[in-house]
């Protein structure tokens, strides 16, 4: 049974920095630990979460993978629903 955090986002290719930040905060992870696990600098994570276009897809993908390792699942939206977060019933965040 998957007890991860579920997210929807508009871009089918990749979640935005705002969605990645929402997932990180929602899971109670601090930015330093996520940056370290992703192998990036804290400054790169901050730029990504702020929506900077100067962050590479590789950096964003590494953050996505870290969050997925914590149980986060990224789902595409259906066009009618924008970005949203749904916690499982037993989530104690």
CA distance 42 to 50: 12
Task: Express as a percent the part of the chain with pLDDT over 70.
Answer: 65
Predicted confidence band of residue 91 (pLDDT cuts 50, 70, 90): low
Q: What is the pLDDT of residue 26?
A: 87
| pLDDT beyond 70 at 82 | no
Please, what sign has the CA dihedral across residues 75, 19, 60, 1? Answer: negative
Domain covering 6-86 assigned CATH 1.10.260.40 in the classification: yes
Residue identified by tokens 């590789």 is 58
Residue showing tokens 């629903």:
81
């Amino acid at each position: 049974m998957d007890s991860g955090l579920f997210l929807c986002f508009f871009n089918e290719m990749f979640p935005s920095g705002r969605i990645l930040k929402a997932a990180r905060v929602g899971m109670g992870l601090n930015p330093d630990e996520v940056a370290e696990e992703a192998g990036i600098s804290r400054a790169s994570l901050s730029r990504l979460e702020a929506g900077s276009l100067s962050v590479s897809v590789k950096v964003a993908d590494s953050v996505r993978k870290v969050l997925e390792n914590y149980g986060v699942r990224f789902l595409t939206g259906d066009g009618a629903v924008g970005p949203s977060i749904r916690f499982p019933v037993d989530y104690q965040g």
